[in-house]
Amino acid sequence: MAENIRRVVYIEDEEDMISLVHLILERKGFEIRGANGGREGLQVIQEYRPDLVLLDLMMPDMDGWDVYQQMKADKALRDIPVIIITAKAQNIDKVLGLHIAKVDDYISKPFSPHELVESVNRVLAQKNDVDEEIADIHN
């Protein structure tokens, strides 16, 4: 049963947001680790190898786009799906994130618990579908 628990890392510089997301997702059966800022976040991702990364964009030590670019440049991390969670809610930011950078989803703050859980479940389901297709090809 424990192997079905999905692991999520949330990279954010506000402890209250990390606590809120932790509470929401833990209640839905996810194992979640928070990381305070981009540098710590990259380290946690490398050590923990999550199924999904939730990523804030505006952080003082290293912004979310830098974290995302470093993940995509690393063979071991590039296939981990990323959902951006940010206060940068302009349409252009969302277009850049979804269509240019190719993040898996983009959630604007403030968001509802339902919106977060729905996005996480959708992105993980898409990843499962791709993983199954790859496994079928190899069999």
pLDDT tens for the chain, 139 residues long, are 345 789 999 999 999 999 999 999 999 999 999 999 999 999 999 999 999 999 998 898 998 989 999 999 999 999 999 999 988 666 555 556 554 567 899 888 899 999 999 999 999 998 877 666 666 676 6
- 13-19 long-range CB contacts below 8 Å, 24 or more apart? 13/37, 13/56, 13/58, 13/59, 13/60, 13/61, 14/56, 17/56, 17/85, 17/109
CB of 10 closer than 8 Å to CB of 54? yes
Residue 54 is predicted with a pLDDT of: 98
Residue 1 is predicted with a pLDDT of: 39
Exposure class string for 39-63: b at 16+ Cβ within 10 A, else e: ebbbebbeeeebbbbbbbbebeebb
Which residues, in sequence order, are bridge partners of residue 84?
55, 106
Specify whether domain 2-138 bears CATH 3.30.420.10.
no
Residue 95 is predicted with a pLDDT of: 53
Residue 128 is predicted with a pLDDT of: 79
Q: Which of 48, 52, 101 is nearest to 73 (CA)?
A: 101
Q: Where are the beta strands (DSSP E) in 1-139?
A: 7-12, 31-36, 52-55, 82-86, 105-108
Residue 119 is predicted with a pLDDT of: 96
Which whole-number Å values give the CA distances from 58 to 4, 63, 87, 127, 134, in the listed order? 32, 5, 8, 26, 35
- 69-74 long-range CB contacts below 8 Å, 24 or more apart? 70/42, 71/42, 71/45, 74/46
